Chain A
């Protein structure tokens, strides 16, 4: 995403040039929408997050100081918008930092099943994709955001920390928890498939 940003003129963006802003939107909107969709799950909510993110970016660009990359800055707005949608949906459950994902004991891996060599064709089934999505939604928003930014959008640990305004140590801890929880969920899925096949 940073490579793409190099072709944009920050001066034109900050001066409110609509064609340059359209170019900016076309470069980043796909990634922002994908992130939003994974964060909030519902397509309509994801579209709201997308629109609010770019509306806020449009208003705030003149004050952008360049302390982070444009991509990191935009992701930060998008994650905050997604968290707001989740908070509205479950005001009793969701806040930016609660439930505190860093206070829990680290879950040790429980499922020790080697499913690495199962057929890749299983990845294409709708049933499996729904399972992947469900496992992602089981993560707390804080863990989900870290996993999506680092492992799906490809941000570095440092960029993920900047985006979420937390330390790199916190990003690493949350990333480990998120990856282990997802691994556990997939192991559970494959355990059931292996059991079915052996019967």
Chain B
């Protein structure tokens, strides 16, 4: 009964516990519980890992060059090149910046192309 109560406390305090913002006395109580409760330990560890995986695999917050170009056109802004869009930012093997589902590769004409959505970048052959 007491263990069930502690599992409930752990669950209800999980956000603050994971984020490190829990009051010290509650934090100590939860850590005592975690030492004895393997199920809760697994939940806490895999929850932390879940957040970490989403953070690690999040796309970089750089805008694809073609998307930026259309945005600036729509906003009627001067389209000055930035460090990130003045040169091709992607290499063969980079995750497609358009659909994020597949990796870019050369299509035989020096164009980096996404096999999933057809997004193309660069290209030097005429």
Asked if chains A and B come from one complex, the reply is: yes
Residues of A within 8 A of B (CB): 18-19, 21-22, 25-26, 29-31, 33-34, 37, 43, 47, 50-51, 54-55, 58, 106, 108-109, 112-116, 123, 126, 129-130, 132-133, 136, 147, 151-152, 157, 172, 175-176, 179-180, 182-183, 186-187
A116 to B102, CA, bound (A): 25
- What is the chain B residue whose CB lies nearest that of A57? B75
User: When the two chains form their complex, are residues A126 and B43 in contact, meaning their CB atoms are under 8 A apart?
Assistant: no
How many B residues are at the interface, by size bracket? 35 or more
Helix, strand, loop or mixed for chain A's interface? helix
- What is the chain A residue whose CB lies nearest that of B73? A51
Q: How many A-B residue pairs have CB under 8 A?
A: 118
Residues of B within 8 A of A (CB): 11-12, 14-16, 18-19, 39, 42-43, 45-47, 49-51, 53-63, 67-68, 70-72, 74-78, 80, 82, 98-103, 117
User: When the two chains form their complex, are residues B55 and A152 in contact, meaning their CB atoms are under 8 A apart?
Assistant: yes
Helix, strand, loop or mixed for chain B's interface? helix
User: When the two chains form their complex, are residues A25 and B77 in contact, meaning their CB atoms are under 8 A apart?
Assistant: yes
In the bound complex, residues from chain A placing their C-beta under 8 Å from that of B61 are 30-31, 33-34
